[in-house]
Amino acid sequence: MSENQNPQPQTGTATTDSDQSLTTTTGETVEQTRDEWTNYEFQGEAKMTVEDLDVYYGDDHALKGVSMEIPEKSVTALIGPSGCGKSTYLRCLNRMNDRISSARIDGSVRLGGEEVYQDGVNLVELRKRVGMVFQSPNPFPKSIRENIAYGPKKHGDLDTGLLARLLNRSDADERDRLVERCLRDAALWDEVSDRLDDNALGLSGGQQQRLCIARCLSVDPEVILMDEPASALDPIATAKIEDLIDDLSEEYTVVIVTHNMQQAARISDQTAVFLTGGELVEYGDTDQVFENPHSERVEDYITGKFG
């Protein structure tokens, strides 16, 4: 873990290893981040492992030496003030930052043990395994049905398999089964089953976001990344998305950025707190992070003293 880069004018007394913070001449706290605050120990397997991840945009060092294991089949929340690197971090997990020409990435990201940042990784395949849902719902201007069937069709996954041919099922049957399964899994089926051929843009914002989640499910992801997925939605639509995230985490690994701390506390199993400067300051059980954070800066942030 990186050392605090800030100059630290120290007051009189010598510091020891057990000091958790230093006081400047102006009385504010300049705290050293400690490895044990980010070294989250959990039961079960890590789905993704991030080690020593640095991201630069030109000269701007946006993420600094982030190491973090993401447990499978659970919800990991990323919180922190605007500009602290949450979206940057999320985009590293499926190499979406590759699309930003000024971005340079150092470090390691592994998915189920395989290095994501090695030559020859098939990015289309990677982004199927690690899907993404954005802040503003972005359905295709097509029918509800086509929004779901589009990805699998493009990837050739809808071609009727041997079993389906033996059972005499047509491609259209296969497609309709897939559409229904994904819409059910995204808790949208009951609201749209009678209008699958309507344009998706006619749905409400909350329905559009659940459709985008259904679309993400259609290519059988293992990890679902969500960047403030409910921040454009009203409270009722938000509650539906939160319930859905909880259900999804039984089968998928969900990583969600949220600026809403109550939301992080409600829906996540573990929480990672990033603070200004692109540092991961604390990572642990959500209850521990919110009720008893190790870091004073995290406590200040959570209790609303800054950010």
Q: Does 207 bind Mg ion (CB under 5 A)?
A: no
Q: Sheet of 114-115: strands edge to edge?
A: 60-71, 46-57, 103-111, 114-115
| Contacted entry of Mg ion, ligand ADP, none for residue 62, CB cut-off 5 to 8 Å set by kind | ligand ADP
| Contacted entry of Mg ion, ligand ADP, none for residue 57, CB cut-off 5 to 8 Å set by kind | ligand ADP
Calpha distance 138→124 (Å, rounded)? 19
Which distant-in-sequence residues (6+ apart) come within 8 Å of 81 by Cβ? Answer: 275, 276, 301, 306, 307
| Contacted entry of Mg ion, ligand ADP, none for residue 82, CB cut-off 5 to 8 Å set by kind | ligand ADP
What one-letter code names the amino acid at 2?
S
| Contacted entry of Mg ion, ligand ADP, none for residue 249, CB cut-off 5 to 8 Å set by kind | none
Helix-helix angle 144-154:205-217, to 10 degrees: 20
Question: Mask 58-87, x = binds Mg ion (CB under 5 A)?
Answer: -----------------------------x
Quote the tokens at residue 88. 């940057």
Q: Does 306 bind ligand ADP (CB under 6 A)?
A: no
Cβ proximity to ligand ADP: between 37 and 274 the closer is 274
Quote the tokens at residue 124. 């289309």
Residues in 69-128 at the binding interface with ligand ADP, rule: CB under 6 A: 80, 82-88, 100, 102
Q: Which of 167, 172, 214 is nearest to 190 (CA)?
A: 214
Residues in 34-63 at the binding interface with ligand ADP, rule: CB under 6 A: 57, 60, 62
Residues in 86-105 at the binding interface with Mg ion, rule: CB under 5 A: 87
Residues binding ligand ADP: number (CB under 6 A): 13
Specify whether the CB–CB gap between 29 and 21 falls below 8 A: yes
Q: Which of 82, 85, 105, 84 is nearest to 95 (CA)?
A: 105
Q: Which residues bind ligand ADP (CB under 6 A)?
A: 57, 60, 62, 80, 82-88, 100, 102
Binding site for Mg ion (CB under 5 A): 87
